[in-house]
Chain A
């Protein structure tokens, strides 16, 4: 059940119950100006409350170190069945939410109830309409989950929609696109193949992959910044019942096996009736021995050097009475 502690491993393409690790990070919801969070509940948890509010002030603290460039970027959080990511998503929303607008698409995403309240275009249309409705300025959109959208929409359409959202918001806000819109999405990595996962990863400036070991959850964050090397960082965390994040410094302590200094070293080759030790001369002879099948440089030279040498092998053949040797057709006696 354990996973590598801080070591990036290959993304599993088969569904499995083992936790596995790869990097990724949730998003910074914009810098000091304070975001308005809009959440879209796709296939969300049943217990999410319905909250609506307006943008009020500066954003709260996020557990990411201040060196993170808060350029509005999309960041998928990848989780697995054993290490679920929804609680981390809720914790991140709670950490920074000051104006939270909740869009409930959980009850009737496909308009089966035919109540007439559904927006045209399905959930994606609702997402785009929501972005058009928000005030210009830094906004973060939290999606639970991106997997829901990815299963029902072509990957290209979803990626284009995400890019278009960011562009539209930037045009309305008037500022640089990077600081306007931040998208935080939850992705279940067992549900999708490497193609769609890779496509969404390439859109993202930060990825968080959740795994854990020994009951302790970890988040491997991979951040890509323009013109800089990607950085990989591992944080150990737990989400408390009130949805606050508790960060721990390192992996859980493990008892290291200490060699007992008082135990004398026992030499197993002593007290035997035969001698296992080598004398100095024997050791030198052993070290200078060339193994017969080892392709050393001397052997290579010997093979490359042409010319007759007394060591060349020759075949001596004595034909008997039944042999019919024809030097021009040596295989003439074969019945083929």
Chain B
């Protein structure tokens, strides 16, 4: 978790809001640092996290998590983290008996119409436990990322339906949060991705958009982050609809600064 980003979002692990859908989006740059931030943020906030990781392996997230102060291995062992490693379990789909449901079952079916098995997996993973022990604070679903589902053959509407059901269960029924990453290829001809991105944008409470600099790559400024609040939680007279900051990713942290105010320039 990056403390500077917490300050920008005006939140801390103790005061994390509930029932929110946060959309992470990246354009011309890699926005995965936001995924690592929210993963460590919610683990530190004592939430039960279901992480659908379709892009990288468990050890990758674990190594980065250790730099940010959380151990995914420990979290998984004590039940705080339910980790679906897409890269490994996608191979299991083909070696399992067909009758057994698998969250990534759509890889096997020629005409998979929806992502219901994946939704069932999420629902099962974030089921509240009634064994009397100190329960986790709230369930959180983290998806990295949704655009790869389009590449794997699902339609944008199927992915929107999956998120819709997850919202109904995780956000509304169980007062949890969802964080999902979608890539913005910037290609206006990629209609499916645009439908997915815009459809999710309209359902989100908070949109974090990491963009590459318009002028190209830079050693000291890695990109620009736009923060858009769609429904302000506290209606104040001065609404912060949108903020834009530039950032530089370092080894264990990310520093944010106003546009043009990079320390390398001043």
Residue-wise, chain A 144-169 has the 8 Å CB interface mask toward B (1 for contact) of: 01010001100000000000000000
Partner of A84, one of B165, B167, B202, B242: B202
Residues of A83-129 contacting chain B, CB below 8 A: 84, 87, 106-110, 112
Instruction: Determine the chain A residues whose CB is within 8 A of the CB of B253 once the complex forms.
Output: none
Whether A188 lies near B198 (C-beta < 8 A) is yes
In the complex, whether B199 has a CB less than 8 A from a CB of chain A is yes
Instruction: Determine the chain B residues whose CB is within 8 A of the CB of A191 once the complex forms.
Output: 195, 198-199, 202
Whether A84 lies near B161 (C-beta < 8 A) is no
Partner of A151, one of B119, B157, B171: B157
Residue-wise, chain B 123-147 has the 8 Å CB interface mask toward A (1 for contact) of: 0000000000000000000000000
Shortest A146–chain B CB gap in Å is 12
Residues of A5-30 contacting chain B, CB below 8 A: 14-15, 17
Q: Looking across the interface, which residue of chain B has its beta carbon closest to that of A48?
A: B172
Partner of A81, one of B161, B198, B235: B198
Whether A151 lies near B199 (C-beta < 8 A) is yes
Instruction: Determine the chain B residues whose CB is within 8 A of the CB of A215 once the complex forms.
Output: 239, 241
Partner of B164, one of A15, A109, A147, A240: A109
Partner of B171, one of A17, A46, A145, A152: A46
Shortest A122–chain B CB gap in Å is 12
In the complex, whether B201 has a CB less than 8 A from a CB of chain A is yes
Contacts A15-B197, A191-B195; A106 near B230 (Cβ below 8 A)? no
Whether A43 lies near B235 (C-beta < 8 A) is no
Instruction: Determine the chain A residues whose CB is within 8 A of the CB of B197 once the complex forms.
Output: 15
Whether B202 lies near A81 (C-beta < 8 A) is yes
Instruction: Determine the chain A residues whose CB is within 8 A of the CB of B231 once the complex forms.
Output: 84, 87
Shortest B147–chain A CB gap in Å is 15
Instruction: Determine the chain B residues whose CB is within 8 A of the CB of A190 once the complex forms.
Output: 194, 198, 201
In the complex, whether A241 has a CB less than 8 A from a CB of chain B is yes
Instruction: Determine the chain B residues whose CB is within 8 A of the CB of A108 once the complex forms.
Output: 165, 168
In the complex, whether B104 has a CB less than 8 A from a CB of chain A is no
Instruction: Determine the chain A residues whose CB is within 8 A of the CB of B160 once the complex forms.
Output: 151
Instruction: Determine the chain A residues whose CB is within 8 A of the CB of B188 once the complex forms.
Output: 14
Q: Looking across the interface, which residue of chain B has its beta carbon closest to that of A151?
A: B157
Whether B167 lies near A110 (C-beta < 8 A) is no
Partner of B228, one of A46, A79, A82, A241: A82
Which label, helix, strand, loop or mixed, suits the secondary structure of the B interface?
helix
Whether A81 lies near B164 (C-beta < 8 A) is no
CA distance A87 to B119 in the complex (A): 29
Whether A15 lies near B198 (C-beta < 8 A) is yes
Interface size class of A (residues with CB under 8 A): 20 to 34
CA distance A106 to B203 in the complex (A): 12
In the complex, whether A199 has a CB less than 8 A from a CB of chain B is no
Whether A81 lies near B201 (C-beta < 8 A) is yes
Q: Looking across the interface, which residue of chain B has its beta carbon closest to that of A216?
A: B239
Partner of B116, one of A82, A112, A151, A152: A112
Shortest A279–chain B CB gap in Å is 52
In the complex, whether B114 has a CB less than 8 A from a CB of chain A is yes
In the complex, whether A64 has a CB less than 8 A from a CB of chain B is no
Residues of B187-205 contacting chain A, CB below 8 A: 188, 194-195, 197-199, 201-203
In the complex, whether A325 has a CB less than 8 A from a CB of chain B is no
Contacts A14-B188, A81-B228, A151-B157; A112 near B202 (Cβ below 8 A)? no
26 contacts between A and B (CB under 8 A): A15-B194, A15-B197, A43-B164, A46-B172, A81-B207, A82-B241, A82-B242, A84-B202, A87-B231, A107-B168, A107-B172, A107-B173, A110-B165, A145-B202, A147-B199, A147-B202, A151-B157, A151-B199, A188-B198, A188-B202, A190-B198, A190-B201, A191-B195, A191-B198, A215-B239, A240-B235
Other than A43-B203, A84-B230, A84-B231, give 8 A-B pairs with Cβ distance below 8 A: A1-B241, A17-B228, A81-B230, A82-B241, A84-B202, A108-B165, A145-B202, A151-B195
B-side interface residues toward A, CB under 8 Å? 19, 114, 116, 119, 157, 160-161, 164-165, 167-168, 171-173, 188, 194-195, 197-199, 201-203, 207, 226, 228, 230-231, 235, 239, 241-242
Closest 10 CB pairs of A and B: A46-B172, A190-B198, A241-B235, A81-B201, A107-B168, A15-B198, A188-B202, A191-B198, A112-B116, A15-B194
